[in-house]
Amino acid sequence: MESAIGAATGLVGSVVNLLSNELVGAYVASTELGLNSVEIKKDLLRAQALLQEAQTRGAKDNHGLKGLLQELTVKADEAEDALDELHYFIIQDQLDGTRYAVPDLGDDLRGHARHGRHAIRHVVGNCLACFSCSSTMKDDDSGGGRGAAAVPINPLNATKTDSAGQDGPVEKLKFHRVAMSKKIKSVMEELHSLCEPVSKLLCITPHQGSTETAVNLNRPPTGSISAQHTLYGRADIFEGTKDDITSGRFYTETLSVLPVVGPGGIGKTTFAQYLYNDKRIQEHFAVRVWVCVSTDFDVLKLSQQILSCIQGSNSPNQTTSLDQLQISIAEKIMSKRFLIVFDDMWKCSNQGWEDLLAPLRKGETKGNMVLVTTRFPSIAEMVKTTPSIPLKGLESDEFFRFFEAFIFDEKKPEYQGDLASIAQTIAKKLKGSPLAGKTVGRLLRKEISRKHWMEVLENNKWQNQENDDGIMTSLRISYDYLPSHLKKCFQYFALFPEDYKFKNLEITYFWIAIGIIEKDEDYMEQLVENGFLVKENAHWSSQQYYVLHDLLHELSRCVSSQECLNIYDSKRFKADAVPKSIHHLSITIEDNYDVTFTEEMIKLKSKVDIANLRALMIFRRYGETIGEILNDTFKDVEGLRVLFIVVQSPNSFPCDFSKLIHLRYLKLGTWDEVTLPSTLSRLYHLKLLDLSGWHGSYELPRDTSRLISLCHFIAGKKFHCNIAEVGKLKCLKELKEFHVMKESVGYELCELGQLTDLGGELCIRNLEKVTTKDEAMEAKLESKGDLKGLGLVWGSSDAVDGTTKLVDVLDALQPHPYLAALGIIGHGGTSGPSWLCGDINFELLEYLHLEGVSWVTLPPFEYLPQLTSLTLSNIYEVSEIRHVFGGATNKSFLQLKLIVLDSLPELIEWVGVPNDSFARLETIYCRSCPNLRTLPFLREYSAGCYNHLSKLEIFDCPKLSLPPMPHSSTLIFCHVRHSSAELTYSAGNNMYINGYNSGEVDLHNLRKVEKMSITDVSHISMTELNNLKSLRRLDVRRCSFTCHGLQDLVCLQYLTVYNCGVFFPWPTEAAHTIKLFPASLETLEIEGESGMQSMALLSNLKSLRRLDVRRCSITCHGLQDLACLQSLTVQDCGNFFPWPTEAAHTVNPFPHTIKPFPASLETLEIEGELGMQPVALLSNLKSLRRLDVRRCSITCHGLQDLACLQSVTVKECGNFFLRPIEAAHTIINPLPASLEELEIDGESSMESMALLSNLTCLTDLILVNSENLTVDGFNPLITVNLNSLKMYNRGNCLSRSISADLLSELAVARTNLLPPAGSYQLRELTVDCISAVLVAPICSLLAATLHTLEFWYDHRAESFTEEEERALQLLTSLCFINFMDCPNLLCLPQGLHSLPSLKTLFVQDCPKIRSLDKGDFPTSLECLLVQGCSPGLQEQAKKLKGTEPDFNVILELE
């Protein structure tokens, strides 16, 4: 019933509004229709009033009335269309100076008609006088051309050749008077006949009562005991709130009110229950009271409940005197700390809330708390004394634990088959809502079977449950509580994708377009206050947007199901289930289309009245086939008010785009070179045109200025500055940019003068072409009170002779005093305008930007009291900023937050400002001011002068006097650079000092710094440095100070010392008496000489886990004492093992007792000679997992005993696999079988694959430049578990290919020794022999898993044989293929286009490949890289750029 009343109310209102238009009303009253228009309008107004009353109060179900309302809705719909069509042709007459739609009123009414014409001229801006576009419609019908209504003479659609600048006017629709008159007469009579019976029934149908009363009956009472055994997912918030209450920020307050706010079913009551019953909370409060408020906020009743709870009574107190109740409550809690919970609060007034809290404020103790749970942010905002706790959905892991608890009734989950994955999929759809988890968990519990769970998943069964504690029931209560106008607005969110970011302007004009509201009434904010929307800030700009609460999107679909259809899942979409009453349709499908989609769309055409759809919204671009389906389905649309569409060709537009005469809101997008349809200029009713997603041609139709109803044009500046005769768009609210172009008609400043409603921001460019003051005054900027921002830009031109004219022109461009932002760029006059540099009257100006002006004197900024941002850039004549006598006071710049001084080469100083004038300054940016000496806001003032300063940047201002930096503890970012000195402080905890010394650095303002880098500093105050107790990481590079006191940095965890020769000025003998480092140190990196001689100085570092020493003479003495060390890197430290060199040629020159490394080591990296040869020194490293050795003569003897070793890298060691003579016949496998990753590069001592035969656990194997390696003893089983295999030779080793030999062995072994192909796991393969891979045995073995295939350094391959092409087709899982440095390869494989999963193709350094045709690629390809190939191939690749929006072409690897 409610839906029927709402639909009828909206449409009847639309008809009444159209009849209120004088010329439309006059036509309906004309003699040729013979209607009693006065009576019709009177009855419609009465019906409208009764409908609005019924909508407000609610009406009980009445089947007869419901049927009549549906008939009334249909006829009102038809009447609206007919009258709207008439209005369209009336506008067209006014634009063209014709009289086709002028009503025949008879002699007595001609004066009225003339009055009507005068009125409409006023609305469209005296179009008869200023519109010169001639009609192409032939006057072949007497009396103004009568015939059938609205038939296009020659409908024009978008084509790639349809230039917006073509000669001749755009052909228009023809008005057929007889057909129009008959249509209006018929539908108005039918509509009128329904008004009386509907009005009578509305008068006698009883109301069902207010919405609030109905909701109140359905609200269950709540108590303080939770039925939920565990509080899931709120641990951090819960513990933090508990701490705040018992010992934190609330503990010292007399009374704190803390709201917990969130949508229905999110867990507010459960959270409050757990807090209320927590043991620490119970002990903290002497009195605890729980009150369920619900929708009945009655101060007397609530006070009775509070007093009863305090007294411990089981029944409410019966005292009816509020005064007595308040006195009693105040007495009871006077000396006791109390907690009162008001749960589920739906409404309250300011006065009522104050009355309720009055006795609670009398408490004499500290720490009293009131906790309020509510769905409504507006209530939370009203009652709070501290920021609210906003509850959102549970995080995915916690929610799944919660979900499982309800599925398995708090028992251990027991899944069968794939039930666990089904449960995970269902859980994702529930958006973390606890109530949804309960509802669906119980539903799944009924039957633990795959069939039942799949039914729940596929049919969203929880949405259809009508039990009182279901999720949709709970959310529906919030919806029912909304006022009727907000209910209607909320319903249409169903048409948008989930998680859509709504902008207020766009959604408001959407509602206006479909006729449910007439103007912006701030409904989005009202929906925020009611808890349906959340307002968020965009990360990339200052704009705000709105997001629908999770699961409320599902609710919007439910409540709008009779009017709105959102096709969001091609598999679940069934046309038979779609109601015939659908008027608004959207397609938001993200997944691939199901095969049945075509059939269902064909059915939809017979189910829904496509021609009369009011909204059609297609949110993304689809493939060509689906595009054809959509085009065919919607080819007959005519009644659209809203159209969203993404086009990929001219044919993507609806077939008769020019006939969409009712369109109010049009959103077009494209990624292709498509031109906008020239017939766009015929959409006279269009109020909002959104081209923000249009990336095709920027050319607008020539007659865009005919869109006289257009209020908002959402598009980039390229579109805005391209509207000829823009002054005809009288309703336009914002024009981002206007270019003066005297060589083109319609681009003079007088066009701006006609835009009286202009607001937002406007930038006027090419002002150098304006030569006179009178011409500038035609812009009428001073009268534009809604304009918030103005930019005035001059280019370089000799068109103006002398600076006097420039000053006059700028004087004439005076804006309205309410202007908030002003920018003047490139003005060549010697002085500024009088309205800015003389008698200033811009008290609301907040932003001022002056750039490239030639003024000698700057404006008196002190007379701009609201100024928050000041930018001065590229001004070469100004040498000082000096304020007039008596002008600047200590209140002059109190609002200023941002100052930018950029490229002011002659500026020396800013003087004449009191010291405390910049108290609110937040950001200072000063660059390229070589002569600048002093600034009033960069002095050493008293504490408190920089309380708001957060960002400071100063570059290339060598003479500028600065206090020690950073000079304020509030700074979050500070960057100062001059000459070679640089200081950076960022994110509040990172500090970088380069070339600064003591006296220039103020470390006492860095109490919270956690990371610090000091470079090229000769002296720094170690006393101040050691006070940085929060410092966790310190990097010291090329500094000449010592580390005295470093041990006082108790939080230091990471220390890097690079080429600091005297940083550790202590001998090794002092190791037992001096503690250089804090015990907290976990990572130490030393590179270059630092004064440290041995590891003995690290003896107190019991927490050290990682140690890197590079290029220094430190020895390993004492290293074994670092019991927690896990990672050690030693590079080019020749004296690290200082044992006698004469023992270097023996098998083991070190005694067995020498264990230089601690047994805790897990990672060891050795590079360069260290005086160590055999690995036997590692024998005690039973925990070692990773070993990396490079450029050293170490051997692998004894490595096989390290059973935990998982990763080994050997590069250019030469002797690594050489074995002692006595062990040559006993050690076959030098590496432990536990190994998972092995990389061998340039190791000449590796001669046989037999050395690796025991490594069957390998997952990653890399063999590079192993010139002596043979496949003798190769064990094919080492390849079974591989995920990645790389085998190639390069440089001097190209003569042979180990990959060819090994893959040949693998192909032979496949039939006898290897497990089935499906057992292989290889995902990445890199080889230097194409022919070795592209053979059927290998490709079939890898077909199911191979994801990445790379061919590197194959100098033998020239082309692909048929056998190789066939083998390539077997690799159906291949996603990435790379051809690199294959200099003789003449072409790419022909079968690339048949690889169904291929997404990325790289071609690098293959100079002989000549051809690159996109037809050779599969449709799945997303990225193509071509680099280092022939110029012809590079050019072919360049042409492929931009051919598809999802296809990326890269010509240089970045």
Residue-wise pLDDT for 175-227, tens only, equals: 888 888 888 888 888 878 888 777 777 776 665 554 444 444 456 788 888 88
Residue 1172 neighbours by CB under 8 Å, 6+ apart: 1136, 1137, 1166, 1192, 1194
As given in the structure block, the two tokens for residue 659 are: 């006939």
At residue 798, does pLDDT exceed 60?
Answer: no
- Predicted confidence at residue 465, as pLDDT, reads 59
Beta strand pairing call for 712-714 and 1186-1190: unpaired
Average pLDDT over residues 992-1017: 79
- Predicted confidence at residue 863, as pLDDT, reads 87
pLDDT bin (cut points 50, 70, 90) of residue 889 is: low
d(C-alpha 896, C-alpha 891), whole Å: 10
More confident residue, 722 or 463: 722
How distant, in Å, are the alpha carbons of 102, 486, 1326 from that of 479?
46, 9, 60
Q: What backbone phi and psi angles, to 5 degrees, belong to 1365? A: -65, -45
As given in the structure block, the two tokens for residue 225 are: 């005991």
pLDDT bin (cut points 50, 70, 90) of residue 1198 is: confident
25 SS3 class: helix
* Residue 756 · residue 783 · CB < 8 Å: yes
Q: Given the structure tokens 């790289």, which residue do they identify?
A: 1402
As given in the structure block, the two tokens for residue 750 are: 């007088």
pLDDT bin (cut points 50, 70, 90) of residue 1307 is: confident
The torsion angle over the Cα atoms of residues 141, 145, 147 and 150, rounded to 10 degrees, is 140
What percentage of residues in the chain have a pLDDT greater than 70?
84
Comparing CA positions, the residue from 601, 548, 607, 603 lying closest to residue 583 is 607
Helices and strands of the chain, counted as H and E runs: 37, 48
At residue 1071, does pLDDT exceed 60?
Answer: no
* Residue 1100 · residue 1080 · CB < 8 Å: no
d(C-alpha 252, C-alpha 266), whole Å: 30
1106 SS3 class: strand
Comparing CA positions, the residue from 1204, 1203, 1123, 1113 lying closest to residue 1157 is 1123
* Residue 445 · residue 452 · CB < 8 Å: no
Average pLDDT over residues 737-761: 91
Which range (505-509, 759-763, 1411-1415) has the least confidence? Answer: 1411-1415
At residue 108, does pLDDT exceed 50?
Answer: no
- Predicted confidence at residue 105, as pLDDT, reads 58
Mean pLDDT of all residues belonging to the chain: 82
The torsion angle over the Cα atoms of residues 361, 364, 365 and 366, rounded to 10 degrees, is 50
At residue 1261, does pLDDT exceed 80?
Answer: yes
Average pLDDT over residues 120-134: 34
- Predicted confidence at residue 1454, as pLDDT, reads 46
Residues paired with residue 1055 on neighbouring β-strands, in sequence order: 1034, 1084
Q: In which order are the strands placed within the sheet that holds 615-618?
A: 564-567, 584-587, 615-618, 642-647, 665-670, 688-694, 712-714
Average pLDDT over residues 77-100: 88
- Predicted confidence at residue 915, as pLDDT, reads 63
- Predicted confidence at residue 59, as pLDDT, reads 58
As given in the structure block, the two tokens for residue 285 are: 């409060």
- Predicted confidence at residue 925, as pLDDT, reads 95
Q: What backbone phi and psi angles, to 5 degrees, belong to 693? A: -100, 15
Residues paired with residue 666 on neighbouring β-strands, in sequence order: 643, 689
Highest mean pLDDT among 60-69, 614-623, 818-827, 940-949: 818-827
Beta strand pairing call for 1448-1450 and 1237-1241: unpaired
Comparing CA positions, the residue from 1035, 1028, 983 lying closest to residue 1005 is 1028
210 SS3 class: coil
DSSP string, 225-282: S-S-SS--S-HHHHHHHHHHHHTSTTTTSSEEEEEEE--TTSSHHHHHHHHHH-HHHH
- Predicted confidence at residue 60, as pLDDT, reads 58
d(C-alpha 1232, C-alpha 1227), whole Å: 11
Residue 966, preceding bond cis, omega within 30 degrees?
yes
What is the pTM for the complete model shown? 0.76
As given in the structure block, the two tokens for residue 377 are: 């942010």
Residue 1079 neighbours by CB under 8 Å, 6+ apart: 1100, 1101, 1102, 1103
Position 677, amino acid:
P
Burial track 1044-1057 (b if 16+ CB lie within 10 A, e otherwise): eebbebeebbbbbb
- Work out the number of other CB atoms within 10 angstroms of the CB of residue 292: 20
As given in the structure block, the two tokens for residue 78 are: 């038809």
Which ranges of 560-676 would DSSP assign to H, the alpha helix? 597-607, 624-633
How distant, in Å, are the alpha carbons of 918, 924, 968, 1068 from that of 965?
18, 14, 8, 38
- Predicted confidence at residue 998, as pLDDT, reads 54
- Predicted confidence at residue 252, as pLDDT, reads 84
pLDDT bin (cut points 50, 70, 90) of residue 122 is: very low
- Work out the number of other CB atoms within 10 angstroms of the CB of residue 89: 24
- Work out the number of other CB atoms within 10 angstroms of the CB of residue 1268: 13
Average pLDDT over residues 828-836: 90
Residue-wise pLDDT for 1369-1389, tens only, equals: 999 899 999 999 999 999 999
As given in the structure block, the two tokens for residue 346 are: 């739906």
- Predicted confidence at residue 1163, as pLDDT, reads 94
Which range (505-514, 872-881, 937-946) has the least confidence? Answer: 937-946
CA of residue 335 relative to chain centroid, distance: 51
Highest mean pLDDT among 209-213, 375-379, 429-433, 617-621: 375-379
Q: HSE (CB half, 13 Å, CA atoms) of 628?
A: 3
Average pLDDT over residues 648-668: 84
* Residue 366 · residue 394 · CB < 8 Å: no
d(C-alpha 1251, C-alpha 1216), whole Å: 12
